[in-house]
Structure 1
Amino acid sequence: MTKNHYIYETQRIGVKGLTREELEGAYPHWLNDQAICAFNSHGIYPASRASAAAFIDSLQGDRNQVVWAVYHKGDHCHIGNLSLQAMHWINRSAEIAFLFGARSYWGQGYAEEAARLLLRHGFRQLNLHRIYCATAASNTGMRRLAEKLGMCEEGTRRQALYLDGRYVDAVEFGLLCDEFAG
């Protein structure tokens, strides 16, 4: 991956649209890793390279989601994906979602950097008014990330998620365009 292929970049990361190129790396394996997918729906059904390819192909021309591959610029490693999905064009809103599978990069701020790029894109290029996310109440990492991004905790949906054999609360976060400091 070279600089010329990035849509946006910071000093440490570059982002580009998710393509079949990412199938050549570890991405398809992330979808079946229970530690990586502990708080999302990817690990529920077994995923294959073919199903990952079908998902990537479905993104072509899809105006209801933006999915980016995140690369570490130092070693050109694909470290994660993030997306704006469930776009509602009348309400001008979308949900932000994360899948960072390269564990050696966890806890170093890469998801926050990438999310700031995507939030800026959502608010400035897509003219969204509100971007939101939800996570399990026990997902302290995602809760911290939402707060670092300036998202406000908006409420709790009681027993809204079924994780690891039990129902758990989902905490909702939201960010409005005029609150975004990016």
Structure 2
Amino acid sequence: MMFATNRIKLRKMTEQDIAVYHKWRNTIGVMESTSPALDIYSMEETGSFVQHVILGSTHSKTYFIMDSASDQPIGITSLISIDFKNRNAELIIDIGEPDYWGKGYGQEALGLLLRYAFMELNLHRISLRVFDFNTRALKLYEKLGFQQEGMSREALFRNGAWHHIIHMGLLQSEYSE
């Protein structure tokens, strides 16, 4: 199966996932290293976001990352702002369950998503943004072949200090499974 490894599988997000996504979206420890806005959202706001932005978009593909053994959702990954004319998209990932952090699940999920993006969708370029203090993510993206393309200097105020947002990209010709 294209969307599975021994440990995880990716499946399309559905309306039934709103409650789990809502929990992750409102857990500061989960979102502080990936989300520019650390707001608390109501269930209604999360439901509307999922309906209109995630499920209602023709320019994004969003998948829940599932633990294959327990069938428990552990995170979410997406290709957003897909531009089929210019063959590029932006990648997003959040491992929502802290017990799964630092154990290679993100790398596996991104491996599946990148293979899909480059081999099935035939995209030419995948970009992402990462906060400068998210060193684990930076190392992972570099390991996957992403290159730093620039930065938005001091664009994020977090924990009493200004931080850069680093822009990275990976071309189809640079991709290796």
Tell me if TM exceeds 0.5. Answer: yes
1:58-87 superposed Cα distances (whole Å, 9 cap, x missing partner) = 234522111100000111110000111122
> Counterpart amino acid of 1:22?
D
RMSD over aligned Cα atoms:
1.9
1:151 deviates by 0.9
Alignment match, 2:30: 36
The answer (yes or no) to whether the contact 2:13–2:55 under 8 Å persists in 1 is no
> Counterpart amino acid of 1:33?
T
Q: Secondary structure at the match of 2:28?
A: coil
> Counterpart amino acid of 2:81?
A
- For residue 49 of structure 1, the aligned residue among 43, 48, 55 is 43
Q: Secondary structure at the match of 2:30?
A: coil
1:126 deviates by 1.8
1:19-67 superposed Cα distances (whole Å, 9 cap, x missing partner) = 122235x331111111111123375222222222222322345221111
In structure 1, the gaps of 5 or more residues are 1-5
The answer (yes or no) to whether the contact 1:150–1:179 under 8 Å persists in 2 is yes
Q: Secondary structure at the match of 2:45?
A: helix
Q: Secondary structure at the match of 1:9?
A: coil
The answer (yes or no) to whether the contact 1:7–1:15 under 8 Å persists in 2 is no
In 2: Cα distance, 1:136 partner to 1:54 partner:
27
Alignment match, 2:148: 153
Q: TM-score normalised to the size of structure 1?
A: 0.87
In 1: Cα distance, 2:147 partner to 2:163 partner:
20
In 1: Cα distance, 2:112 partner to 2:139 partner:
18
Q: Is the deviation greater in 61-70 or in 160-169?
A: 160-169
1:143 deviates by 0.2
Alignment match, 1:171: 166
Number of aligned residues: 176
Q: How does 1:68-107 map to 2 (within 5 A)?
A: 68-107=63-102
1:153 deviates by 1.9
Relative distance call for 1:28 and 1:60 in structure 2 (3 A) is: closer
Q: TM-score normalised to the size of structure 2?
A: 0.89
1:135 and 2:130 aligned: yes
